[in-house]
Protein backbone atom coordinates (compact mmCIF):
# COMPACT_ATOMS: atom_id res chain seq x y z
CA UNK A 1 0.00 0.00 0.00
CA UNK A 2 2.89 2.33 0.78
CA UNK A 3 4.29 1.96 -2.74
CA UNK A 4 0.94 3.06 -4.15
CA UNK A 5 1.86 6.58 -3.06
CA UNK A 6 5.66 6.51 -2.94
CA UNK A 7 6.36 4.17 -5.84
CA UNK A 8 9.50 2.07 -6.19
CA UNK A 9 11.70 4.80 -7.65
CA UNK A 10 12.02 8.57 -7.34
CA UNK A 11 10.45 9.15 -10.74
CA UNK A 12 10.45 7.74 -14.23
CA UNK A 13 13.50 5.49 -14.59
CA UNK A 14 13.25 4.55 -18.26
CA UNK A 15 15.91 5.73 -20.64
CA UNK A 16 15.62 9.26 -22.02
CA UNK A 17 15.09 8.11 -25.59
CA UNK A 18 11.99 6.12 -24.67
CA UNK A 19 10.55 9.03 -22.69
CA UNK A 20 11.17 11.45 -25.57
CA UNK A 21 9.40 9.11 -27.97
CA UNK A 22 6.49 8.83 -25.53
CA UNK A 23 6.20 12.62 -25.31
CA UNK A 24 6.36 12.91 -29.11
CA UNK A 25 3.68 10.23 -29.54
CA UNK A 26 1.26 11.82 -27.05
CA UNK A 27 1.84 15.28 -28.55
CA UNK A 28 1.36 14.00 -32.11
CA UNK A 29 -1.88 12.29 -31.09
CA UNK A 30 -3.22 15.19 -29.03
CA UNK A 31 -2.55 18.05 -31.46
CA UNK A 32 -4.83 16.92 -34.34
CA UNK A 33 -7.45 15.58 -31.93
CA UNK A 34 -7.65 18.91 -30.11
CA UNK A 35 -7.71 20.78 -33.43
CA UNK A 36 -10.66 18.70 -34.66
CA UNK A 37 -12.58 19.26 -31.42
CA UNK A 38 -11.87 23.00 -31.57
CA UNK A 39 -13.46 23.10 -35.04
CA UNK A 40 -16.48 21.11 -33.86
CA UNK A 41 -16.93 23.33 -30.80
CA UNK A 42 -16.59 26.47 -32.93
CA UNK A 43 -19.29 25.20 -35.27
CA UNK A 44 -21.41 24.38 -32.20
CA UNK A 45 -21.07 27.98 -30.98
CA UNK A 46 -18.60 27.31 -28.15
CA UNK A 47 -16.14 29.96 -29.22
CA UNK A 48 -14.31 30.29 -25.90
CA UNK A 49 -13.72 26.54 -25.68
CA UNK A 50 -12.65 26.47 -29.34
CA UNK A 51 -10.09 29.23 -28.67
CA UNK A 52 -8.77 27.34 -25.61
CA UNK A 53 -8.44 24.19 -27.68
CA UNK A 54 -6.59 26.09 -30.42
CA UNK A 55 -4.15 27.31 -27.77
CA UNK A 56 -3.86 23.70 -26.56
CA UNK A 57 -3.16 22.56 -30.13
CA UNK A 58 -0.34 25.09 -30.41
CA UNK A 59 1.06 23.88 -27.09
CA UNK A 60 0.92 20.24 -28.22
CA UNK A 61 2.69 21.12 -31.47
CA UNK A 62 5.36 22.88 -29.43
CA UNK A 63 5.75 19.82 -27.22
CA UNK A 64 6.14 17.65 -30.32
CA UNK A 65 8.79 19.96 -31.77
CA UNK A 66 10.92 19.94 -28.61
CA UNK A 67 10.43 16.24 -27.90
CA UNK A 68 13.74 15.28 -29.53
CA UNK A 69 15.64 18.49 -28.82
CA UNK A 70 18.31 18.91 -26.18
CA UNK A 71 15.92 20.55 -23.71
CA UNK A 72 15.68 19.04 -20.24
CA UNK A 73 13.51 15.92 -20.19
CA UNK A 74 11.83 17.05 -16.97
CA UNK A 75 10.82 20.32 -18.66
CA UNK A 76 9.36 18.42 -21.64
CA UNK A 77 7.24 16.29 -19.31
CA UNK A 78 5.97 19.31 -17.41
CA UNK A 79 5.10 21.26 -20.57
CA UNK A 80 3.11 18.35 -22.02
CA UNK A 81 1.30 17.77 -18.72
CA UNK A 82 0.49 21.47 -18.33
CA UNK A 83 -0.83 21.63 -21.92
CA UNK A 84 -3.02 18.58 -21.30
CA UNK A 85 -4.35 19.94 -18.02
CA UNK A 86 -5.08 23.31 -19.62
CA UNK A 87 -7.20 21.74 -22.38
CA UNK A 88 -8.99 19.32 -20.04
CA UNK A 89 -9.74 22.07 -17.51
CA UNK A 90 -11.16 24.28 -20.27
CA UNK A 91 -13.38 21.38 -21.35
CA UNK A 92 -14.43 20.83 -17.74
CA UNK A 93 -15.43 24.47 -17.30
CA UNK A 94 -17.38 24.62 -20.56
CA UNK A 95 -18.89 21.18 -20.39
CA UNK A 96 -18.24 20.44 -24.03
CA UNK A 97 -20.60 18.65 -26.36
CA UNK A 98 -23.44 16.88 -24.50
CA UNK A 99 -22.13 18.27 -21.18
CA UNK A 100 -19.62 15.41 -20.98
CA UNK A 101 -16.55 17.58 -20.41
CA UNK A 102 -16.01 16.41 -16.85
CA UNK A 103 -15.53 12.81 -18.01
CA UNK A 104 -12.31 13.70 -19.83
CA UNK A 105 -10.53 14.75 -16.66
CA UNK A 106 -9.97 11.11 -15.71
CA UNK A 107 -7.07 11.21 -18.21
CA UNK A 108 -5.07 13.52 -15.93
CA UNK A 109 -4.05 10.84 -13.37
CA UNK A 110 -2.96 8.44 -16.11
CA UNK A 111 -0.97 11.14 -17.93
CA UNK A 112 0.65 12.26 -14.68
CA UNK A 113 1.59 8.68 -13.77
CA UNK A 114 2.88 7.96 -17.28
CA UNK A 115 4.98 11.09 -17.58
CA UNK A 116 6.11 11.79 -14.01
CA UNK A 117 6.04 8.47 -12.19
CA UNK A 118 5.41 8.02 -8.48
CA UNK A 119 5.39 9.87 -6.12
CA UNK A 120 5.60 12.99 -8.33
CA UNK A 121 2.40 12.09 -10.19
CA UNK A 122 0.44 12.56 -6.97
CA UNK A 123 1.52 16.21 -6.78
CA UNK A 124 0.05 16.85 -10.23
CA UNK A 125 -3.07 14.79 -9.53
CA UNK A 126 -3.72 16.66 -6.29
CA UNK A 127 -2.88 19.98 -7.94
CA UNK A 128 -5.39 19.44 -10.73
CA UNK A 129 -7.92 18.21 -8.17
CA UNK A 130 -7.37 21.40 -6.16
CA UNK A 131 -8.03 23.59 -9.22
CA UNK A 132 -11.18 21.60 -10.01
CA UNK A 133 -12.28 21.89 -6.37
CA UNK A 134 -11.82 25.67 -6.54
CA UNK A 135 -14.05 25.77 -9.63
CA UNK A 136 -16.68 23.65 -7.85
CA UNK A 137 -16.57 25.91 -4.79
CA UNK A 138 -17.00 28.95 -7.04
CA UNK A 139 -20.02 27.19 -8.53
CA UNK A 140 -21.44 26.40 -5.08
CA UNK A 141 -21.04 29.99 -3.85
CA UNK A 142 -22.41 31.46 -7.06
CA UNK A 143 -19.23 33.03 -8.44
CA UNK A 144 -19.27 30.82 -11.52
CA UNK A 145 -21.82 28.49 -13.04
CA UNK A 146 -20.76 25.03 -14.11
CA UNK A 147 -22.96 23.17 -16.62
CA UNK A 148 -23.38 20.17 -14.31
CA UNK A 149 -25.84 19.03 -11.74
CA UNK A 150 -24.79 18.24 -8.19
CA UNK A 151 -25.11 14.53 -8.88
CA UNK A 152 -22.82 14.89 -11.90
CA UNK A 153 -20.19 16.68 -9.81
CA UNK A 154 -20.32 13.93 -7.17
CA UNK A 155 -20.01 11.34 -9.94
CA UNK A 156 -17.05 13.25 -11.40
CA UNK A 157 -15.29 13.42 -8.02
CA UNK A 158 -15.74 9.67 -7.57
CA UNK A 159 -14.48 8.87 -11.07
CA UNK A 160 -11.48 11.17 -10.64
CA UNK A 161 -10.52 9.57 -7.29
CA UNK A 162 -10.86 6.04 -8.73
CA UNK A 163 -8.87 7.03 -11.81
CA UNK A 164 -6.10 8.35 -9.56
CA UNK A 165 -6.00 5.08 -7.61
CA UNK A 166 -6.03 2.94 -10.75
CA UNK A 167 -3.31 5.04 -12.39
CA UNK A 168 -1.14 4.87 -9.26
CA UNK A 169 -1.69 1.10 -9.02
CA UNK A 170 -0.66 0.49 -12.62
CA UNK A 171 2.35 2.77 -12.32
CA UNK A 172 3.45 1.15 -9.03
CA UNK A 173 3.25 -2.30 -10.62
CA UNK A 174 5.17 -1.11 -13.64
CA UNK A 175 7.87 0.47 -11.47
CA UNK A 176 8.10 -2.71 -9.38
CA UNK A 177 8.65 -4.78 -12.51
CA UNK A 178 11.10 -2.24 -13.86
CA UNK A 179 13.11 -2.22 -10.61
CA UNK A 180 13.16 -6.04 -10.64
CA UNK A 181 14.27 -5.97 -14.26
CA UNK A 182 17.10 -3.54 -13.49
CA UNK A 183 18.13 -5.68 -10.50
CA UNK A 184 18.23 -8.78 -12.71
CA UNK A 185 20.28 -6.90 -15.29
CA UNK A 186 22.69 -5.78 -12.55
CA UNK A 187 22.95 -9.35 -11.23
CA UNK A 188 23.63 -10.66 -14.73
CA UNK A 189 26.26 -7.98 -15.26
CA UNK A 190 27.87 -8.93 -11.94
CA UNK A 191 27.84 -12.61 -12.92
CA UNK A 192 29.32 -11.72 -16.29
CA UNK A 193 32.12 -9.73 -14.65
CA UNK A 194 32.78 -12.55 -12.18
CA UNK A 195 32.80 -15.08 -14.99
CA UNK A 196 35.21 -12.99 -17.03
CA UNK A 197 37.45 -12.59 -13.98
CA UNK A 198 37.35 -16.33 -13.27
CA UNK A 199 38.10 -17.12 -16.91
CA UNK A 200 40.99 -14.67 -16.83
CA UNK A 201 42.40 -16.20 -13.64
CA UNK A 202 41.91 -19.72 -15.01
CA UNK A 203 43.64 -18.74 -18.25
CA UNK A 204 46.60 -17.35 -16.32
CA UNK A 205 46.74 -20.54 -14.21
CA UNK A 206 46.66 -22.70 -17.35
CA UNK A 207 49.37 -20.62 -18.97
CA UNK A 208 51.53 -20.96 -15.85
CA UNK A 209 50.92 -24.72 -15.74
CA UNK A 210 51.73 -24.99 -19.45
CA UNK A 211 54.98 -23.07 -19.01
CA UNK A 212 55.90 -25.31 -16.08
CA UNK A 213 55.09 -28.41 -18.11
CA UNK A 214 57.18 -27.15 -21.02
CA UNK A 215 60.05 -26.51 -18.61
CA UNK A 216 59.75 -30.03 -17.17
CA UNK A 217 59.60 -31.53 -20.68
CA UNK A 218 62.75 -29.63 -21.63
CA UNK A 219 64.49 -30.81 -18.46
CA UNK A 220 63.37 -34.37 -19.20
CA UNK A 221 64.80 -34.13 -22.72
CA UNK A 222 68.11 -32.79 -21.41
CA UNK A 223 68.24 -35.51 -18.74
CA UNK A 224 67.48 -38.19 -21.36
CA UNK A 225 70.23 -36.88 -23.62
CA UNK A 226 72.68 -36.78 -20.72
CA UNK A 227 71.70 -40.33 -19.74
CA UNK A 228 72.16 -41.62 -23.30
CA UNK A 229 75.54 -39.89 -23.48
CA UNK A 230 76.57 -41.50 -20.18
CA UNK A 231 75.43 -44.93 -21.40
CA UNK A 232 77.35 -44.46 -24.64
CA UNK A 233 80.52 -43.56 -22.73
CA UNK A 234 80.00 -46.51 -20.40
CA UNK A 235 79.66 -48.90 -23.36
CA UNK A 236 82.78 -47.39 -24.96
CA UNK A 237 84.70 -47.83 -21.72
CA UNK A 238 83.53 -51.41 -21.45
CA UNK A 239 84.59 -52.08 -25.06
CA UNK A 240 87.99 -50.57 -24.43
CA UNK A 241 88.35 -52.60 -21.26
CA UNK A 242 87.33 -55.79 -23.10
CA UNK A 243 89.73 -55.04 -25.94
CA UNK A 244 92.50 -54.35 -23.43
CA UNK A 245 91.83 -57.61 -21.64
CA UNK A 246 91.78 -59.49 -24.95
CA UNK A 247 95.04 -57.89 -26.10
CA UNK A 248 96.64 -58.59 -22.75
CA UNK A 249 95.56 -62.24 -22.96
CA UNK A 250 96.92 -62.59 -26.49
CA UNK A 251 100.20 -60.98 -25.47
CA UNK A 252 100.44 -63.32 -22.55
CA UNK A 253 99.76 -66.29 -24.81
CA UNK A 254 102.47 -65.17 -27.26
CA UNK A 255 104.84 -64.78 -24.36
CA UNK A 256 104.07 -68.26 -23.13
CA UNK A 257 104.41 -69.63 -26.67
CA UNK A 258 107.85 -67.96 -27.04
CA UNK A 259 108.97 -69.34 -23.72
CA UNK A 260 107.93 -72.86 -24.68
CA UNK A 261 109.69 -72.56 -28.06
CA UNK A 262 112.87 -71.34 -26.37
CA UNK A 263 112.83 -74.34 -24.06
CA UNK A 264 112.35 -76.66 -27.04
CA UNK A 265 115.34 -75.24 -28.83
CA UNK A 266 117.63 -75.93 -25.95
The predicted-structure confidence for 113-143, as pLDDT tens digits, reads as follows 999 888 899 999 999 999 999 999 999 998 9
- The domain in which residue 46 lies consists of 9-173
Return the minimum-mean-pLDDT range out of 21-25, 83-87, 136-140, 228-232.
Answer: 228-232
Is 209 part of a structural domain of the chain? no
Q: What is the pLDDT of residues 237-248, one digit of tens each?
A: 788 878 878 777
Looking at the domain assignment, is residue 264 inside a domain?
no
So what's the pLDDT on residue 83? Answer: 96
DSSP assignments along 1-36, one per residue: -THHHH-SSSS--S-HHHHHHHHHHHHHHHHHHHHH
The pLDDT score that the predictor gives to residue 266 is 59
DSSP single-letter state for residue 147:
S
Is residue 256 domain-resident?
Answer: no
In a domain, 203, yes or no: no
pLDDT band at 112 (very low <50, low <70, confident <90, very high): very high
Residue 153 has pLDDT above 80, yes or no: yes
Q: Report if residue 208 sits inside a domain.
A: no
pLDDT-based confidence at residue 164 (cuts at 50, 70, 90): very high
Residue 103 included in any domain: yes
Q: What is the per-residue pLDDT for 13?
A: 53
pLDDT band of 227, cuts 50, 70, 90: confident
Nearest to 108 by CA among 128, 90, 92: 128
Which DSSP state fits 101?
G
Task: Report yes or no on whether pTM surpasses 0.75.
Answer: no
Phi-psi label, residue 115: left if phi above 0, alpha if psi -120 to 50, beta otherwise? alpha
Domain tally for the chain?
1
Average the pLDDT over 155-162 and give the result: 92
Amino acid sequence: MKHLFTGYTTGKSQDDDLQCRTIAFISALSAPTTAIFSLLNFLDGRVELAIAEIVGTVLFIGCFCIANNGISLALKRKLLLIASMFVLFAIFLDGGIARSGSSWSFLVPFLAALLMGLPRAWYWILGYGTVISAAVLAHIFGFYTLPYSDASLIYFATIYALSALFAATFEAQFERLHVRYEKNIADLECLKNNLEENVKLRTIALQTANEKLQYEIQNHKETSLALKDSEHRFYQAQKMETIGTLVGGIAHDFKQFGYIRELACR
